[in-house]
Amino acid sequence: KMRVLFVLSSMVLMANAFAPSLNSMSSFQRAASSLKGMKSVRSQRVAPSAKLDAIFFDCDGVLAETERDGHRIALNMAMKEKGLKVGNQDMKVDEKGYGELLSIGRGRLRLIEFWKKNRWDQMDIQLATEIYTRSKVIFNELVEAGKIPLRPGVNYIVDEAIAAGVKLAVCSNADDKAVERVVALMGKERASHVRIFASSSIKHTKPDPEVYEVAMKALGVNPSDCVAIEDSLAGLNAAQTAGIACIVCPSCYTAGAADYHHAELVVKGLNELDLDSIIQQAHSTQFQLSGANS
């Protein structure tokens, strides 16, 4: 009996001695299982972001600050050529003043309004038409001369998209030729990868979604696999009405001009974005149709 008790006691002691090792092994296995679980969760989160077929840019205000650095400068140059004066000074529209004019129609209507605000008594619709027509020519010359810079981050996004095989397009209300000149600022190689859908492609301008619908049909892509980058509420509504997730990057004139909380993402500059962050927005679960709530 004593021998049996001794053997049993020895077995208990040995079991206790190895218990920490067994417990450690169990902890390791649990940790391993946990790591597998974490990897699985990460994979599930990242997997949807692998699908992005196209990025759509607006032109004015997104690719470049064309209103401030182009159209405003061109208008001032055209007025100077005509010899327009306020006192002894050349008539000019400053940055703030031009921003206020953007809410007023287009072209000569803006010029008439500017003259009214400055109480210029030599207003004439024919003169306004001539200046506006001349300013468009000057604008194109400024773009071709490289006087209007692209916004920081544009070329980086374009390069990443091209490398990843993501289709690129510009969807704009503007004149086709004007858009082509802005896109050309990217350089010949980049520009060759960018399709343009502008005024000649559509009957209805933004906030109507037509330009996006035309672009998606031409590129053969679905709205759920695209992202638009806009700078205005009209552009945001156009993209989301077409079913496309939209990132808003306000221009100097649209920052603070509207509520963009319905956008999937709002950034101060395109240099805050890369392809990965854009892809994530294409599959955002927070998508809402801003047109239905604005």
Give the catalytic positions in this structure: 58, 60
Contact 267, 250 (CB under 8 A): no
Please give the C-alpha separations between residue 64 and each of 60, 147, 252, in angstroms, as whole numbers: 6, 11, 10
Amino acid found at 193: H
Provide the Cα torsion 204, 208, 210, 211; round to 10°: 90
Residue whose entry in the numeric block shows the structure tokens 């027509």: 133
* Rg of the chain on CA atoms, in Å: 30
CA distance 166 to 228: 13
Query: Cα separation of 233 and 63, whole Å?
Result: 16
Paired sense of beta strands 89-90 and 85-86, if any: antiparallel
From residue 246, how far is each of 242, 265, 281, 284 by CA, in Å? Answer: 10, 7, 8, 10
Q: Is 127 exposed, middle or buried (0-12, 13-18, 19+ CB in 10 A)?
A: middle
Q: Cα angle at 282 between 280 and 285, to 5 degrees?
A: 80
In the chain, count H helices and then E strands.
12, 8
Question: In terms of Cα–Cα distance, which of 235, 196, 228, 230 is closest to 214?
Answer: 196
Cα separation of 61 and 235, whole Å?
11
